[in-house]
Chains A and B, each alone.
Chain A
Amino acid sequence: MEISSAFEIGITDYRKIINTVKEVYGYDFNEFALTSFKRRIERFIQLFGLVHPDALIIRLKNDISFFNIFLKEVLVESTEMFRDPSFWRYLRDELLSTLLKESKHPRIWFPFCVSGDELYTFCIVLSETNLKDKFTVIAHYPNEILLESIKNGEFKNYKFEISKENYERFVGKNDFENYFIIDKQSIKRNISYIENVTFIKQNVNFDNSENEISLIICRNRLIYFTQTMHDKVLKIFHNSIQSSGFLALGIKEQPGLISQNLFKPFNINESIYKKI
Protein backbone atom coordinates (compact mmCIF):
# COMPACT_ATOMS: atom_id res chain seq x y z
CA MET A 1 0.00 0.00 0.00
CA GLU A 2 1.35 3.40 -0.96
CA ILE A 3 0.71 5.79 1.90
CA SER A 4 -0.60 9.20 0.86
CA SER A 5 1.45 12.18 1.93
CA ALA A 6 -1.72 14.21 1.77
CA PHE A 7 -3.07 12.90 5.09
CA GLU A 8 -1.76 15.04 7.92
CA ILE A 9 -2.44 15.47 11.62
CA GLY A 10 -1.84 18.64 13.61
CA ILE A 11 0.77 19.12 16.32
CA THR A 12 -1.88 19.15 19.05
CA ASP A 13 -3.19 15.73 18.02
CA TYR A 14 0.37 14.48 17.67
CA ARG A 15 1.16 15.51 21.25
CA LYS A 16 -2.11 13.98 22.49
CA ILE A 17 -1.21 10.65 20.91
CA ILE A 18 2.30 10.43 22.30
CA ASN A 19 1.14 11.57 25.72
CA THR A 20 -1.54 8.88 25.74
CA VAL A 21 1.06 6.25 24.92
CA LYS A 22 3.28 7.53 27.70
CA GLU A 23 0.50 7.64 30.30
CA VAL A 24 -0.91 4.21 29.50
CA TYR A 25 2.16 2.18 28.56
CA GLY A 26 5.16 4.21 29.74
CA TYR A 27 6.79 4.38 26.32
CA ASP A 28 8.21 7.86 25.80
CA PHE A 29 8.20 9.15 22.23
CA ASN A 30 8.71 12.79 23.21
CA GLU A 31 12.33 12.56 22.15
CA PHE A 32 11.61 11.17 18.71
CA ALA A 33 12.34 13.49 15.76
CA LEU A 34 9.15 15.39 14.99
CA THR A 35 8.75 15.15 11.22
CA SER A 36 9.51 11.48 10.82
CA PHE A 37 7.57 10.36 13.88
CA LYS A 38 4.52 12.45 12.94
CA ARG A 39 4.65 10.83 9.52
CA ARG A 40 4.82 7.39 11.13
CA ILE A 41 1.65 8.12 13.08
CA GLU A 42 -0.08 9.51 9.97
CA ARG A 43 0.93 6.38 8.10
CA PHE A 44 -0.37 4.17 10.89
CA ILE A 45 -3.73 5.96 10.99
CA GLN A 46 -4.11 5.40 7.24
CA LEU A 47 -2.91 1.82 7.38
CA PHE A 48 -5.61 0.97 9.91
CA GLY A 49 -8.30 3.12 8.32
CA LEU A 50 -8.80 5.06 11.53
CA VAL A 51 -9.81 8.33 9.80
CA HIS A 52 -9.32 10.53 12.87
CA PRO A 53 -6.57 10.84 15.53
CA ASP A 54 -9.17 10.44 18.31
CA ALA A 55 -10.07 6.99 17.00
CA LEU A 56 -6.41 6.05 17.37
CA ILE A 57 -6.28 7.39 20.93
CA ILE A 58 -9.36 5.41 21.97
CA ARG A 59 -8.00 2.15 20.58
CA LEU A 60 -4.56 2.74 22.08
CA LYS A 61 -6.10 3.31 25.52
CA ASN A 62 -8.17 0.15 25.52
CA ASP A 63 -6.21 -2.47 23.70
CA ILE A 64 -2.67 -3.53 24.60
CA SER A 65 -2.36 -5.88 21.63
CA PHE A 66 -3.29 -2.97 19.39
CA PHE A 67 -0.58 -0.89 21.10
CA ASN A 68 1.96 -3.59 20.34
CA ILE A 69 1.04 -3.44 16.67
CA PHE A 70 1.32 0.36 16.87
CA LEU A 71 4.80 0.04 18.36
CA LYS A 72 5.82 -2.34 15.60
CA GLU A 73 4.54 -0.07 12.85
CA VAL A 74 5.74 3.33 14.06
CA LEU A 75 9.35 2.24 14.36
CA VAL A 76 11.10 2.58 11.03
CA GLU A 77 12.71 -0.53 9.69
CA SER A 78 15.84 -0.55 7.60
CA THR A 79 15.42 -0.28 3.87
CA GLU A 80 17.11 -3.48 2.74
CA MET A 81 19.78 -6.06 3.56
CA PHE A 82 23.43 -5.30 2.75
CA ARG A 83 22.58 -1.59 2.49
CA ASP A 84 25.84 0.20 1.56
CA PRO A 85 27.68 -2.91 0.28
CA SER A 86 31.05 -1.18 0.68
CA PHE A 87 30.42 -0.91 4.43
CA TRP A 88 29.86 -4.66 4.65
CA ARG A 89 32.89 -5.35 2.45
CA TYR A 90 35.03 -3.23 4.75
CA LEU A 91 33.61 -5.00 7.79
CA ARG A 92 34.36 -8.41 6.26
CA ASP A 93 37.80 -7.58 4.86
CA GLU A 94 39.21 -5.33 7.59
CA LEU A 95 37.12 -4.62 10.64
CA LEU A 96 36.41 -8.16 11.84
CA SER A 97 40.10 -9.02 12.02
CA THR A 98 40.81 -5.71 13.77
CA LEU A 99 38.21 -6.63 16.38
CA LEU A 100 39.75 -10.08 16.84
CA LYS A 101 43.14 -8.50 17.48
CA GLU A 102 41.67 -6.36 20.27
CA SER A 103 39.58 -9.04 21.89
CA LYS A 104 39.51 -12.85 21.94
CA HIS A 105 35.78 -13.02 21.83
CA PRO A 106 34.38 -9.73 20.52
CA ARG A 107 30.86 -8.73 21.52
CA ILE A 108 28.77 -7.07 18.82
CA TRP A 109 25.69 -5.05 19.79
CA PHE A 110 22.69 -4.08 17.71
CA PRO A 111 20.89 -1.65 20.03
CA PHE A 112 17.70 -1.06 18.00
CA CYS A 113 16.60 -4.05 15.96
CA VAL A 114 13.35 -3.47 14.13
CA SER A 115 13.30 -5.64 11.03
CA GLY A 116 16.52 -7.59 11.61
CA ASP A 117 17.89 -6.70 8.16
CA GLU A 118 21.22 -5.50 9.55
CA LEU A 119 21.37 -8.33 12.07
CA TYR A 120 20.84 -11.02 9.42
CA THR A 121 23.32 -9.28 7.13
CA PHE A 122 25.95 -9.34 9.85
CA CYS A 123 25.30 -12.98 10.71
CA ILE A 124 25.61 -13.93 7.03
CA VAL A 125 28.97 -12.13 6.89
CA LEU A 126 30.09 -14.06 9.98
CA SER A 127 29.02 -17.32 8.40
CA GLU A 128 30.82 -16.60 5.12
CA THR A 129 34.02 -15.78 6.99
CA ASN A 130 33.69 -18.85 9.26
CA LEU A 131 33.85 -16.60 12.31
CA LYS A 132 30.48 -17.44 13.78
CA ASP A 133 31.98 -19.05 16.90
CA LYS A 134 34.36 -16.19 17.61
CA PHE A 135 31.73 -13.49 18.09
CA THR A 136 28.91 -12.89 20.54
CA VAL A 137 26.01 -11.06 18.91
CA ILE A 138 23.54 -9.18 21.09
CA ALA A 139 20.37 -7.68 19.66
CA HIS A 140 18.01 -5.41 21.56
CA TYR A 141 14.44 -5.41 20.30
CA PRO A 142 11.48 -3.12 21.10
CA ASN A 143 8.64 -5.62 21.52
CA GLU A 144 7.60 -9.26 21.23
CA ILE A 145 5.83 -8.88 17.89
CA LEU A 146 9.01 -7.59 16.29
CA LEU A 147 11.10 -10.25 18.02
CA GLU A 148 8.82 -12.98 16.69
CA SER A 149 9.01 -11.68 13.16
CA ILE A 150 12.82 -11.54 13.35
CA LYS A 151 13.02 -15.04 14.84
CA ASN A 152 10.59 -16.43 12.29
CA GLY A 153 12.71 -15.09 9.45
CA GLU A 154 9.98 -12.80 8.14
CA PHE A 155 11.14 -10.60 5.33
CA LYS A 156 9.36 -7.91 3.31
CA ASN A 157 9.42 -9.32 -0.18
CA TYR A 158 9.81 -5.94 -1.86
CA LYS A 159 13.27 -5.73 -0.30
CA PHE A 160 14.48 -8.89 -1.97
CA GLU A 161 15.65 -7.56 -5.33
CA ILE A 162 17.51 -4.55 -3.93
CA SER A 163 19.08 -6.70 -1.21
CA LYS A 164 20.21 -9.23 -3.81
CA GLU A 165 21.78 -6.46 -5.89
CA ASN A 166 23.55 -5.20 -2.77
CA TYR A 167 24.79 -8.70 -1.98
CA GLU A 168 26.22 -8.98 -5.48
CA ARG A 169 28.05 -5.67 -5.00
CA PHE A 170 29.28 -7.00 -1.66
CA VAL A 171 30.64 -9.95 -3.64
CA GLY A 172 29.47 -12.68 -1.28
CA LYS A 173 30.38 -16.34 -1.54
CA ASN A 174 26.96 -17.76 -2.36
CA ASP A 175 23.85 -17.11 -4.34
CA PHE A 176 21.81 -14.70 -2.27
CA GLU A 177 18.81 -17.04 -2.62
CA ASN A 178 20.65 -19.59 -0.46
CA TYR A 179 19.94 -17.45 2.59
CA PHE A 180 16.19 -17.70 2.09
CA ILE A 181 13.42 -20.20 1.94
CA ILE A 182 11.53 -19.22 -1.15
CA ASP A 183 8.17 -20.62 -2.15
CA LYS A 184 5.30 -19.34 -4.26
CA GLN A 185 3.64 -17.40 -1.46
CA SER A 186 6.55 -15.88 0.37
CA ILE A 187 10.24 -15.33 0.89
CA LYS A 188 11.52 -16.11 4.38
CA ARG A 189 14.99 -15.87 5.81
CA ASN A 190 16.89 -18.95 6.86
CA ILE A 191 16.75 -18.55 10.62
CA SER A 192 19.71 -20.81 11.30
CA TYR A 193 22.00 -17.84 10.75
CA ILE A 194 20.76 -16.07 13.87
CA GLU A 195 20.55 -19.09 16.16
CA ASN A 196 23.37 -17.86 18.40
CA VAL A 197 22.11 -14.31 18.78
CA THR A 198 21.18 -13.15 22.30
CA PHE A 199 17.97 -11.09 22.28
CA ILE A 200 17.21 -8.56 24.99
CA LYS A 201 14.11 -6.40 25.26
CA GLN A 202 14.46 -2.65 24.93
CA ASN A 203 13.11 -0.53 27.80
CA VAL A 204 10.40 2.09 27.44
CA ASN A 205 12.84 4.98 27.13
CA PHE A 206 14.90 3.27 24.41
CA ASP A 207 18.07 3.79 26.41
CA ASN A 208 19.35 0.28 27.18
CA SER A 209 23.05 -0.18 27.81
CA GLU A 210 25.51 -3.06 27.47
CA ASN A 211 29.07 -3.69 28.54
CA GLU A 212 32.43 -4.67 27.06
CA ILE A 213 31.16 -4.21 23.51
CA SER A 214 33.70 -4.32 20.67
CA LEU A 215 31.43 -2.94 17.96
CA ILE A 216 28.03 -1.30 18.00
CA ILE A 217 26.15 -1.41 14.71
CA CYS A 218 23.50 1.28 14.87
CA ARG A 219 23.10 2.52 11.33
CA ASN A 220 20.25 4.92 10.58
CA ARG A 221 18.51 4.47 13.93
CA LEU A 222 19.57 7.63 15.78
CA ILE A 223 18.21 9.75 12.93
CA TYR A 224 14.76 9.16 14.46
CA PHE A 225 15.75 10.80 17.74
CA THR A 226 15.97 14.45 18.72
CA GLN A 227 19.41 15.93 19.29
CA THR A 228 18.95 15.59 23.07
CA MET A 229 18.11 11.88 22.88
CA HIS A 230 20.79 11.33 20.23
CA ASP A 231 23.46 12.78 22.52
CA LYS A 232 22.19 10.83 25.51
CA VAL A 233 22.28 7.54 23.60
CA LEU A 234 25.79 8.24 22.30
CA LYS A 235 26.97 8.66 25.90
CA ILE A 236 25.40 5.31 26.76
CA PHE A 237 27.12 3.78 23.73
CA HIS A 238 30.41 5.24 24.86
CA ASN A 239 29.99 3.62 28.28
CA SER A 240 28.95 0.32 26.75
CA ILE A 241 31.95 -0.01 24.45
CA GLN A 242 35.22 -1.42 25.73
CA SER A 243 38.29 0.76 25.35
CA SER A 244 39.21 1.25 21.69
CA GLY A 245 35.92 -0.31 20.52
CA PHE A 246 33.96 0.86 17.49
CA LEU A 247 30.65 2.42 16.55
CA ALA A 248 29.12 2.12 13.07
CA LEU A 249 26.57 4.79 12.19
CA GLY A 250 24.60 5.37 8.98
CA ILE A 251 26.48 6.88 6.06
CA LYS A 252 24.89 10.31 6.56
CA GLU A 253 25.10 10.31 10.35
CA GLN A 254 27.84 11.68 12.54
CA PRO A 255 28.29 11.79 16.31
CA GLY A 256 27.96 15.59 16.33
CA LEU A 257 29.57 18.33 18.36
CA ILE A 258 28.81 17.12 21.87
CA SER A 259 30.20 13.66 21.14
CA GLN A 260 33.45 14.79 19.58
CA ASN A 261 35.26 13.97 22.79
CA LEU A 262 33.63 10.53 22.92
CA PHE A 263 34.30 9.18 19.43
CA LYS A 264 36.81 9.94 16.70
CA PRO A 265 36.46 9.11 13.00
CA PHE A 266 38.03 5.79 12.05
CA ASN A 267 36.70 5.25 8.55
CA ILE A 268 34.82 8.35 7.38
CA ASN A 269 33.58 6.86 4.10
CA GLU A 270 31.86 4.01 5.87
CA SER A 271 30.91 6.08 8.93
CA ILE A 272 32.83 4.02 11.48
CA TYR A 273 33.98 5.71 14.68
CA LYS A 274 36.37 4.66 17.41
CA LYS A 275 35.90 5.21 21.12
CA ILE A 276 38.24 7.79 22.61
Chain B
Amino acid sequence: MYKAIIIGGSAGSFQVVTSILNSLPQNFNYTVFLCLHRLKHIRSGFVEALSLRSGIPVIEPYDKESIKPGKAYLAPANYHMYIELNNRFALSTEESVNHSRPSIDLTFMTAAYAYRNKLIGILLSGANKDGAYGLKKVAELGGLTIVQDPKECEVKTMTESALQITKVNYIMTVDKIINFLVKL
Protein backbone atom coordinates (compact mmCIF):
# COMPACT_ATOMS: atom_id res chain seq x y z
CA MET B 1 0.00 0.00 0.00
CA TYR B 2 2.95 2.34 0.46
CA LYS B 3 4.52 4.01 -2.58
CA ALA B 4 7.41 6.06 -1.28
CA ILE B 5 9.87 6.34 1.57
CA ILE B 6 11.43 9.61 2.59
CA ILE B 7 14.55 9.71 4.70
CA GLY B 8 16.06 12.78 6.37
CA GLY B 9 19.27 13.15 8.33
CA SER B 10 22.34 15.24 8.92
CA ALA B 11 25.34 14.74 11.20
CA GLY B 12 25.88 11.05 11.84
CA SER B 13 23.40 9.86 9.23
CA PHE B 14 25.71 9.07 6.31
CA GLN B 15 26.66 5.56 7.53
CA VAL B 16 23.04 4.84 8.37
CA VAL B 17 21.80 5.87 4.93
CA THR B 18 24.46 3.77 3.18
CA SER B 19 23.54 0.73 5.31
CA ILE B 20 19.89 1.20 4.38
CA LEU B 21 20.60 1.64 0.65
CA ASN B 22 23.03 -1.29 0.62
CA SER B 23 20.39 -3.56 2.15
CA LEU B 24 17.66 -2.81 -0.37
CA PRO B 25 16.99 -5.57 -2.90
CA GLN B 26 17.44 -4.72 -6.58
CA ASN B 27 13.75 -5.25 -7.20
CA PHE B 28 12.78 -2.80 -4.44
CA ASN B 29 9.76 -1.18 -6.02
CA TYR B 30 9.28 1.94 -3.90
CA THR B 31 10.54 5.44 -4.55
CA VAL B 32 13.10 6.59 -1.99
CA PHE B 33 13.67 10.30 -1.33
CA LEU B 34 16.80 11.29 0.54
CA CYS B 35 17.20 14.73 2.02
CA LEU B 36 20.51 14.95 3.85
CA HIS B 37 22.30 18.05 4.99
CA ARG B 38 25.42 18.55 2.92
CA LEU B 39 28.00 21.18 2.06
CA LYS B 40 26.55 23.79 -0.27
CA HIS B 41 29.57 24.16 -2.52
CA ILE B 42 30.47 20.50 -3.04
CA ARG B 43 28.20 19.19 -5.72
CA SER B 44 29.93 15.95 -6.71
CA GLY B 45 31.04 12.90 -4.77
CA PHE B 46 28.09 12.47 -2.43
CA VAL B 47 25.75 10.68 -4.79
CA GLU B 48 28.66 8.57 -6.03
CA ALA B 49 29.52 7.54 -2.46
CA LEU B 50 25.92 6.58 -1.73
CA SER B 51 25.67 4.65 -5.01
CA LEU B 52 28.72 2.43 -4.47
CA ARG B 53 26.92 -0.56 -3.01
CA SER B 54 23.32 0.59 -3.10
CA GLY B 55 20.74 -1.99 -4.18
CA ILE B 56 18.92 0.62 -6.27
CA PRO B 57 20.21 3.53 -8.40
CA VAL B 58 20.85 6.76 -6.50
CA ILE B 59 20.20 9.92 -8.50
CA GLU B 60 20.33 13.66 -7.93
CA PRO B 61 17.27 14.75 -9.87
CA TYR B 62 17.07 17.64 -12.28
CA ASP B 63 14.33 20.22 -11.94
CA LYS B 64 11.04 18.87 -13.38
CA GLU B 65 12.41 15.31 -13.66
CA SER B 66 9.67 12.71 -13.32
CA ILE B 67 9.63 10.44 -10.27
CA LYS B 68 9.96 6.70 -10.74
CA PRO B 69 9.73 3.70 -8.40
CA GLY B 70 12.81 1.63 -7.64
CA LYS B 71 15.10 4.64 -7.50
CA ALA B 72 16.58 6.71 -4.67
CA TYR B 73 16.62 10.47 -5.24
CA LEU B 74 19.09 12.60 -3.32
CA ALA B 75 18.40 16.32 -2.84
CA PRO B 76 21.16 18.16 -4.77
CA ALA B 77 23.61 20.56 -3.13
CA ASN B 78 22.43 24.14 -2.59
CA TYR B 79 18.85 23.51 -3.77
CA HIS B 80 15.63 22.77 -1.92
CA MET B 81 13.95 19.68 -3.38
CA TYR B 82 10.15 19.70 -3.65
CA ILE B 83 7.88 16.84 -4.64
CA GLU B 84 5.20 18.37 -6.86
CA LEU B 85 1.66 17.00 -7.15
CA ASN B 86 2.24 16.09 -10.81
CA ASN B 87 4.75 13.38 -9.84
CA ARG B 88 7.74 15.52 -10.70
CA PHE B 89 10.50 17.21 -8.79
CA ALA B 90 10.80 20.96 -8.47
CA LEU B 91 14.02 22.50 -7.27
CA SER B 92 14.32 25.87 -5.62
CA THR B 93 17.00 28.30 -4.51
CA GLU B 94 14.85 30.05 -1.91
CA GLU B 95 16.32 31.07 1.43
CA SER B 96 17.70 28.42 3.75
CA VAL B 97 15.19 26.95 6.20
CA ASN B 98 16.58 25.97 9.61
CA HIS B 99 19.93 27.14 8.20
CA SER B 100 19.67 24.40 5.60
CA ARG B 101 19.35 24.18 1.83
CA PRO B 102 18.26 21.50 1.10
CA SER B 103 15.84 21.69 4.01
CA ILE B 104 14.48 18.38 5.26
CA ASP B 105 11.27 20.07 6.46
CA LEU B 106 10.47 21.29 2.96
CA THR B 107 11.10 18.00 1.18
CA PHE B 108 9.13 16.10 3.83
CA MET B 109 6.20 18.54 3.73
CA THR B 110 5.85 18.41 -0.04
CA ALA B 111 6.20 14.62 -0.09
CA ALA B 112 3.54 14.40 2.63
CA TYR B 113 1.08 16.31 0.42
CA ALA B 114 1.95 14.34 -2.69
CA TYR B 115 1.79 10.84 -1.12
CA ARG B 116 -0.38 11.24 2.01
CA ASN B 117 -1.02 7.75 3.51
CA LYS B 118 1.22 6.14 0.90
CA LEU B 119 4.35 7.61 2.47
CA ILE B 120 6.78 6.35 5.07
CA GLY B 121 8.83 9.10 6.72
CA ILE B 122 12.09 8.23 8.47
CA LEU B 123 14.22 10.68 10.44
CA LEU B 124 17.79 9.79 11.41
CA SER B 125 20.69 11.18 13.40
CA GLY B 126 21.21 14.93 13.06
CA ALA B 127 22.40 18.05 14.82
CA ASN B 128 19.57 20.38 13.88
CA LYS B 129 15.80 20.47 14.33
CA ASP B 130 15.23 20.57 10.55
CA GLY B 131 13.00 17.62 9.71
CA ALA B 132 10.97 17.58 12.91
CA TYR B 133 8.16 19.70 11.47
CA GLY B 134 8.31 17.81 8.17
CA LEU B 135 7.86 14.47 9.93
CA LYS B 136 4.91 15.91 11.86
CA LYS B 137 3.33 16.82 8.53
CA VAL B 138 3.84 13.26 7.26
CA ALA B 139 1.98 11.98 10.33
CA GLU B 140 -0.83 14.55 10.01
CA LEU B 141 -1.48 13.61 6.40
CA GLY B 142 -1.73 9.91 7.17
CA GLY B 143 1.79 8.67 6.49
CA LEU B 144 3.73 6.25 8.66
CA THR B 145 6.49 7.78 10.78
CA ILE B 146 9.70 6.21 12.04
CA VAL B 147 12.49 7.82 14.06
CA GLN B 148 15.91 6.29 14.58
CA ASP B 149 16.31 5.41 18.26
CA PRO B 150 17.99 8.54 19.76
CA LYS B 151 20.07 6.24 22.00
CA GLU B 152 21.71 4.95 18.85
CA CYS B 153 22.08 8.32 17.06
CA GLU B 154 25.50 9.90 16.84
CA VAL B 155 23.76 13.25 17.31
CA LYS B 156 20.23 13.15 18.69
CA THR B 157 18.97 16.75 18.25
CA MET B 158 17.00 15.94 15.12
CA THR B 159 15.29 12.80 16.36
CA GLU B 160 14.54 14.25 19.79
CA SER B 161 13.06 17.41 18.23
CA ALA B 162 10.80 15.20 16.15
CA LEU B 163 9.72 13.11 19.14
CA GLN B 164 8.85 16.27 21.08
CA ILE B 165 6.26 17.41 18.55
CA THR B 166 4.99 14.17 17.02
CA LYS B 167 3.74 10.87 18.34
CA VAL B 168 5.57 8.71 15.83
CA ASN B 169 4.57 5.17 14.89
CA TYR B 170 7.93 3.57 15.59
CA ILE B 171 11.23 4.32 17.28
CA MET B 172 13.67 1.84 15.78
CA THR B 173 17.33 0.99 15.66
CA VAL B 174 18.93 0.99 12.20
CA ASP B 175 18.80 -2.81 12.04
CA LYS B 176 15.07 -2.76 12.72
CA ILE B 177 14.50 0.02 10.14
CA ILE B 178 16.33 -2.04 7.50
CA ASN B 179 14.43 -5.18 8.46
CA PHE B 180 11.17 -3.25 8.21
CA LEU B 181 11.96 -1.83 4.76
CA VAL B 182 13.13 -5.05 3.12
CA LYS B 183 9.97 -6.78 4.32
CA LEU B 184 7.62 -4.17 2.84
Are the CB atoms of A76 and B92 closer together than 8 Å?
yes
From B105-113, B118-126, B146-154, give the one contacting chain A.
B105-113
Question: What is the total number of residues of chain B having a CB less than 8 Å from a CB of chain A?
Answer: 31
A254 proximal to B (CB < 8 A): yes
From B1-9, B27-35, B57-65, give the one contacting chain A.
B57-65
Q: Mark B55-94, 1 if CB is under 8 A from A, else 0.
A: 0000011111000000000001011001011001011111
Distance, CA A235 to CA B88, complexed state (A):
22
Distance, CA A223 to CA B65, complexed state (A):
11
From A34-42, A102-110, A120-128, A194-202, give the one contacting chain B.
A34-42
Chain B residues with CB below 8 A from A85, complex form: 41
Distance, CA A6 to CA B85, complexed state (A):
19
Chain A residues with CB below 8 A from B43, complex form: 84, 251
Q: Which of B91, B98, B105 has the most CB of A within 10 A?
A: B91
Known contacts A83-B78, A223-B90, A251-B43; A35 and B63 CB within 8 A of each other: no
B48 proximal to A (CB < 8 A): no
A178 proximal to B (CB < 8 A): no
- Across the interface, A227 reaches (CB within 8 A) one of B41, B60, B64, namely B64
Chain B residues with CB below 8 A from A78, complex form: 93
Distance, CA A251 to CA B93, complexed state (A):
12
Are the CB atoms of A252 and B41 closer together than 8 Å?
no
What residues make up the interface of A, taking CB atoms closer than 8 Å to B? 2-3, 5-6, 33-36, 39-40, 43, 76, 78-79, 83-85, 162, 165-166, 169, 220, 222-224, 227, 230, 250-254, 256
What residues make up the interface of B, taking CB atoms closer than 8 Å to A? 40-41, 43, 60-64, 76, 78-79, 82, 84-85, 88, 90-95, 97-98, 101, 103, 105-106, 109-110, 133-134
